[in-house]
């Protein structure tokens, strides 16, 4: 009996100890449950790359929004650039855990704002707000495009892009420029050095063609540390066909409209010591009146005429078709110019003179071809002279072969 009583007391004490230990353990476990039940911080549920608050993020980084568990419910990204806010389109992965932009390149000199909502896998929603800014380049490149946007041009127009900086990654830049035509025609690029890229079809454009030039150069690295600035589209329309043939030996210019001869105009070409280039040249600009100073094109002080009328520029080096009032007897008889093609005109420019008639019927982009001059053929990069190259030669000048 004494032994049983002692045994009962021992068992009761042990039970009490176990109960107390269980209570203590239960309190501890309950405390852990409080920690586990506490909602995790949004940054632990939704991860944004680049990190919130990042600055000068480089162009090689990629924007991603991720959750380790659960699923993204919504992601909104806004890009602030050039004082404008633009939504950044993107898409979710099949499992809903990753969002990425449709265009994987980050814009430079921009501020990105990310707002995301996700379910964390326990039925709880979390929201995340993050911002970061991207690298601001110290050097940019742009392209000056010929012809002008929304212009109507002649059938010989060549699309020419003059870059303000030397381009080293020519293939990448070339692929970022798209020139298309309707009706469709094959158009190919040709580089002249590292700062000029021209586009043309095999033959002159068909009248009525609509041409579009799209530049996707923004933030493209054209040379080490030099990034593009433009993302835009230009367009122009091809008008009627006009091709004029200057015969320097016969002192005439035959003007053909849509293949039909409409006039033969007397001209004076370059004198024996200052001959006119042979070859196909394209009207680059048209000036009602301009000053022509021989010192600006490599001559001395042989001439400086302040009021040359009806001037159509053909080359960068200074070849024009223009009105001539100071040598009225020369057109049709003798070559007296310093390399230009002169048509009879009057001081101040007369509308009824041969020069005025031709000027009024011309467009930028018209073709003027010179033959039988005692000079070399005009260089393909002197003005829009690319028509003087064969199609094979032209195509060989592309960088993205």
Beta strand residue intervals within 297-353, DSSP E: 304-313, 320-324, 341-344
**Token pair belonging to 122:** 């326990």
**Strands 46-49 and 90-92, how do they pair?**
unpaired
Helix (H) or strand (E) holding 119: strand 111-119
φ/ψ region of 295 (left if φ > 0, alpha if ψ in -120 to 50, else beta) reads alpha
27 is catalytic: no
State the distance between the two ends of the chain, measured CA to CA, in whole angstroms.
107
For strands 231-238 and 151-153, give the pairing: parallel
**Per annotation, catalytic residue among 231, 322, 333, 372:** 322
Q: Which residues pair with 87 in a beta bridge?
A: 78
Q: 273 Cβ partners below 8 Å, 6+ apart? A: none
What is d(CA 244, CA 254) in angstroms, rounded to the nearest whole number?
5
Q: Which of 251, 310, 338, 340 is catalytic?
A: 340
Structure tokens at 346: 């009057």
| Measured CA angle at 156 (ends 152, 158), to 5 deg | 85
242 close to 154: Cβ distance less than 8 angstroms? yes
Strand partners, 99: 65, 92
Tokens for 81? 């650039």
**CB of 77 within 8 A of CB of 48?**
no
What is the layout of strands, in order, in the sheet containing 285-293? 285-293, 304-313, 320-324, 341-344
Name the residue with tokens 């007897």: 329
Torsion of CA 30, 35, 36, 39, to 10 degrees: 140
Buried b (16+ CB within 10 A) or exposed e, 132-157: bbbbebeebbebebbbeeebebbbbb
Would you say 337 and 269 are in contact if contact means Cβ atoms under 8 Å apart? yes
| Residue 231: active-site member | no
Write down the residue that tokens 């001037």 correspond to.
311
Write out the catalytic residue numbers: 322, 340
């Amino acid at each position: 009996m004494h032994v049983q009583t002692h045994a009962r007391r021992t068992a009761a004490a042990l039970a009490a100890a176990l109960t107390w230990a269980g209570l203590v353990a239960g309190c501890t476990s309950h405390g852990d449950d409080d920690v586990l039940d506490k909602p995790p911080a949004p940054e632990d549920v939704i991860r944004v790359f680049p990190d919130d608050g990042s600055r000068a993020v480089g162009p090689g980084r990629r924007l991603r929004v991720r959750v380790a568990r659960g699923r993204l419910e919504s992601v909104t990204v806004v890009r602030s650039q050039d004082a404008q806010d633009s939504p950044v389109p993107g898409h979710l992965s099949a499992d809903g855990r990753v969002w990425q932009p449709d265009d994987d390149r980050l814009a430079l000199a921009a501020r990105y704002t990310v707002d995301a909502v996700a379910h964390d896998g326990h039925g709880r929603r979390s929201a995340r707000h993050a911002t970061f800014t991207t690298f601001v380049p110290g050097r940019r490149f742009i392209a000056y495009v010929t012809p002008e946007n929304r212009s109507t041009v002649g059938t010989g127009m060549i699309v020419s892009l003059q870059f303000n900086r030397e381009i080293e990654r020519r293939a990448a830049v070339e692929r970022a420029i798209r020139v298309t035509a309707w009706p469709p025609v094959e158009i190919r690029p040709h580089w002249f050095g590292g700062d000029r890229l021209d586009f043309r079809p095999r033959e002159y454009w068909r009248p009525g063609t609509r041409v579009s030039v799209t530049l996707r150069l923004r933030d493209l690295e054209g040379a080490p540390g030099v990034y593009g600035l433009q993302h835009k589209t230009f367009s122009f329309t091809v008008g009627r066909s006009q091709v004029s043939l200057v015969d320097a030996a016969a002192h005439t210019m035959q003007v053909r409209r849509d293949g039909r001869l409409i006039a033969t105009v007397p001209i004076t070409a370059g004198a024996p010591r200052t001959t006119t280039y042979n070859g196909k040249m394209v009207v680059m600009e048209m000036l009602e009146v301009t000053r022509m100073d021989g010192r600006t094109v490599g001559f001395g002080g042989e001439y400086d005429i302040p009021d040359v009328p009806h001037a159509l520029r053909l080359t960068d080096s200074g070849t024009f078709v223009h009105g001539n009032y100071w040598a009225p007897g020369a057109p049709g008889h003798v070559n007296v110019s310093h390399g230009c093609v002169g048509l009879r005109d009057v001081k101040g420019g007369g509308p009824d003179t041969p020069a005025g008639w031709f000027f009024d019927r011309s467009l930028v982009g018209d073709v003027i071809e010179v033959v039988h001059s005692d000079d070399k053929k005009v260089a393909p990069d002197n003005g829009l002279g690319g028509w003087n190259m064969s199609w094979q030669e032209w195509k060989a000048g592309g960088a993205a072969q």
